[in-house]
Each structure stands twice: as C-alpha cells, then as structure tokens.
A = this chain, B = another copy of it.
C-alpha cells in the first residue's frame, strides 16, 4: 500500500536511501568480504565503493569503534563483532539446532556429510555442516556462497519457486557459471532439470561443482509465512556412491526436512 508505483530511478548517484551512511557502510563491509585478501586500505575502499576518501575515513572510524572492522596499521579487515552477530543469527535458528540433533541420531545420515543451506537470490548460503565421517573433509565452510545452478541444494530450492520468478532469474539463454565439464550451461538446461526435481521430490548433482563428488538434496517446507527458504544436502564421493545408498539418504533427508518444517509435530 505504501509502495510508490513510481519506478524509483536508482541509477546515477541517487540511491535515495533513508540513511545513506548505513548503506555505504554496508557496501564497505561487502567490499572487504569480497576482496581476495580481505585486507584493503582506505584508498582501496574509497575507489572500490566509489565514495570520497574523507567520507570513507569517517565511515571506517565509526565501523572500527563498533568493532565491525579492524584496522591493522594502514589496512582494514572485517571485525570480530561480525562473528558474534553471525553466530547470533544462526543461534536463533531453531532449525540449525534441530538439524544437528537429528543428524546425530539418524541411522544413515549420521555417517554422512550433511549440510543445511539457505536460499539468497541466485545463491545458496551454507548455514551448518554435520560431519559423519571425519575422514573425508570436503572443504566447504559455513557461510560460503554457491550459485544455485551448481549444487543440488540450490536446484532443490529453486525448483519450489513459482515459474514466473524462475523465468525471470534464468531465461533460456542465460549463461550459468561453470566449475566442471558437467556443470549446467544455460537457463534452459537448468529448467529442464527443475521439472525432474519437482516430479521426484529431490535434487541430484553429478559432479557439477566438483569432479568426483555427487550430491543429494531436498527442500525444507517453509515454516510460517516469511521464513527463509532452507534446504538439506548430503555430499558423497562418486567412487563409493550407490543408488541404494542414495535412496536411503533421500528418505532420511525428507524425514528431517519434514520435521524441520513442522516443529513439535
């Protein structure tokens, strides 16, 4: 109702935020997170984010006071407060706690590498990881982002969206990011798979993000109206993977998904 139907011109310089300083401070944090080394100087940041040095300096002073950035000599890095805040976010998610509890007690999953992830635009963010067999550690850290088209859990989450949104995100000729020879290449290919996924109720990834690795995933029924879109996945080595194992895993993943989607049920 309060939405202005006017297409706010967000081009040029007029982002028209109600608190530009905050928006720009967030951009500074993003720039630090996105940078290769995580260490940037004031001038770097000023150039990267596109705001004057003097303003950047003021922002950094405030951010430093809040422990959101650290300064080490002339270089700035992300601050420790972010660990606290990120942890507070995850700690509030009952789903993560329940995820751990379930995995530990499950008969099949307790011996696998299981992850819970969240949809964020055209990426998924990994929220937590359960390691059933400490021997094989496939590096993927909590908080990592991954394009949806490259992982089973991404496809499982996208498959639930309504067709119009999917079409908007992935036109038939859209070029998708590629990590291995088996990665999907176009929006058309992706959408064909999404149909399969909707039919069979789970998603499969066959060496599309990492050669030698396969992945199974399901979506968690969304709890409440505005909750995040969560998915679960199991990663396994292709060399040792068997379809029988796969169907057992899918069965337990769906059980866990159901339990996460219907708490106390």
Chain B residues, CB < 8 A from A52: none
Task: Give the number of copies in the complex.
Answer: 2
**Is A19 interfacial (CB-CB < 8 Å)?**
yes
**Is A145 interfacial (CB-CB < 8 Å)?**
yes
Per-position binary interface string of chain A over residues 55-68, scored 1 when its CB falls under 8 Å from any chain B CB and 0 otherwise: 00111011111111
Q: How many residues of A contact B (CB 8 A)?
A: 66
Leading 5 A-B pairs by shortest Cβ distance: A87-B143, A86-B86, A26-B66, A19-B62, A33-B88
Interface centre among A19, A29, A70, A90 (most CB of B within 10 A): A19
Chain B: minimal CB distance from A16 (Å): 10
**Contact of B17 with A62 in the complex, beta carbons under 8 Å:** yes
| A binding-site residues for B, Cβ under 8 Å | 2, 17-23, 25-27, 29, 32-33, 37-38, 57-59, 61-68, 70-73, 77-92, 100, 104, 118, 120, 125, 127, 131-132, 134, 137, 141-145, 224, 226-228
